[in-house]
């Protein structure tokens, strides 16, 4: 059971890359079927999680190449998670690129919010910041915890390898 859970955590970056690819593919679905409720639901669920990194990748290399690169990175993570002792450095890079991209996405998304709905000016001026709604979606929190766990796992693997030498 423990091994299965660790393998699932090490697959966190692959989930992040696959989610970004699903976001780009949902854009294609919206282009083909603009009135589909399923396409809109998929797009709007994933949008706050991977908007900035996916759009930066999209701007740099185009849609087809971005989807191919993300799916390749997701597939590459499977052998990295299955054989953690063999690919220590590659697993480190794979996990940390996903962590940096997810952090970049949520920081940019939270700084670009359109305002505070439901709050009045006196509530804000009084300094009670506990009324602010949570601006981070639950999907991002789960994805971040998985990717951060994969990063911790890669650090632990590197430290264990250093101690063995």
List, run by run, the mean pLDDT of 10-residue segments along the chain (165 residues). Answer: 80 92 91 89 84 83 90 92 85 91 70 49 47 61 88 90 87
Residue 71 pLDDT = 94
Query: Which residues are CB-contacts of 140 (< 8 A; sequence separation ≥ 6)?
Result: 48, 49, 102, 105, 106
* pTM (two decimals): 0.79
Q: What is the pLDDT of residue 70?
A: 92
């Amino acid at each position: 059971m423990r091994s299965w859970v660790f393998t699932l955590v090490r697959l966190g970056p692959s989930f992040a890359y696959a989610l970004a690819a699903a976001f780009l593919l949902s854009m294609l679905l919206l282009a083909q079927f603009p009135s589909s409720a399923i396409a809109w639901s998929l797009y709007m669920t994933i949008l706050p999680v991977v908007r900035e990194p996916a759009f930066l990748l999209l701007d740099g290399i185009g849609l087809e190449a971005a989807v191919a690169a993300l799916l390749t990175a997701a597939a590459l993570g499977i052998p990295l998670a299955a054989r953690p002792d063999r690919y220590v450095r590659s697993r480190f890079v794979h996990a940390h690129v996903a962590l940096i991209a997810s952090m970049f996405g949520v920081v940019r998304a939270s700084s670009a919010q359109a305002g505070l709905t439901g709050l009045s000016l006196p509530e804000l001026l009084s300094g009670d910041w506990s009324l602010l709604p949570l601006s981070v979606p639950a999907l991002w929190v789960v994805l971040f915890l998985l990717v951060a766990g994969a990063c911790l796992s890669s650090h632990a693997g590197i430290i264990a390898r250093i101690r063995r030498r």
